[in-house]
Amino acid sequence: MGETKNAELTLVIVKPDGLKKSLTGNIITRLAETKLVIVGSKMVRVSRDLAVEHYKHLQGKPFFEDLIKYIMGEYHTKRVMALVYGGADAIQKVRDICGSTNPEEAQPVSIRGAYGRITTKGVFENVIHASANAEDAEREIKLWFGPDELIDPIYPMVEVEETIRRKKWK
């Protein structure tokens, strides 16, 4: 990717409603139209800290608490699939296929238009997250993924030595 013009990374999250509705395959197929490359992917159980950090720009909005519960999976299933896509103009290409934030305003053929809904409580269940711009993308990717989890991490890295407790197979 280093040689590609406008090479960018963007974060995609298949939200808990997407997983509950078995839409992962459909969503990845739709995103393949972009010809972008998947450079990272994993299943995540979203902690409250991660949810609040991810959506910190919306703190104070009336829908904030429901949004946090939604991304943590309290309304569907406690897992999301996080992916990083890379390639030329990755951010805009993915956003175009996702469609507008409000699933009722999104183009019917977009992912959010096809699969999203607004609950009677007013929660936008819009199935997918995609970074909105380069600044958000970098912040979000660094929040969700470490350098070792990406095939081609384009951000500067440092090597550190640390003692950590981690699980290993018995």
Interface ranges with ligand DAT (CB under 6 A): 58, 63, 67, 101, 122, 124, 126, 129, 132
**Where does this chain touch Mg ion (CB under 5 A) — which range of 44-52, 115-123, 128-136, 143-151?**
128-136
Min. distance of Cβ 31 from ligand DAT in angstroms? 15
**Does the active-site annotation cover 54?**
no
> CA-CA distance, 92 to 136, in Å (whole number)?
12
Q: What is the DSSP letter of 35?
A: T
* Of residues 10 and 34, the one with the C-beta less far from ligand DAT: 10
Min. distance of Cβ 66 from Mg ion in angstroms? 16
Applying CB under 5 A, among 1, 52, 114, 132 the residue interacting with Mg ion is 132
* Of residues 28 and 132, the one with the C-beta less far from Mg ion: 132
Residue 32 contacts which entry, Mg ion, ligand DAT, none (Cβ below 5-8 A, type-dependent): none
* Of residues 1 and 67, the one with the C-beta less far from ligand DAT: 67
Min. distance of Cβ 153 from Mg ion in angstroms? 22
**Amino acid residing at 71:** I
Q: Which two tokens stand for residue 28?
A: 């990845």
> CA-CA distance, 91 to 52, in Å (whole number)?
22
Check: CB of residue 10 under 8 Å from CB of residue 137. Answer: yes
Q: Which two tokens stand for residue 4?
A: 């590609």
* Of residues 26 and 100, the one with the C-beta less far from Mg ion: 100
Q: What is the DSSP letter of 76?
A: S
Q: Round the CA-based radius of gyration of the chain to a whole number and report it.
A: 16
> CA-CA distance, 86 to 89, in Å (whole number)?
8
Query: For residue 92, which phi and psi values (nearest 5 degrees)?
Result: -70, -40
**Amino acid residing at 128:** I
**Where does this chain touch Mg ion (CB under 5 A) — which range of 18-26, 43-51, 124-132, 142-150?**
124-132
CB atoms within 10 A of CB 26: 16
Min. distance of Cβ 29 from Mg ion in angstroms? 23
Which residues of the chain form contacts with Mg ion (CB under 5 A)?
A: 132
Catalytic residues: 129
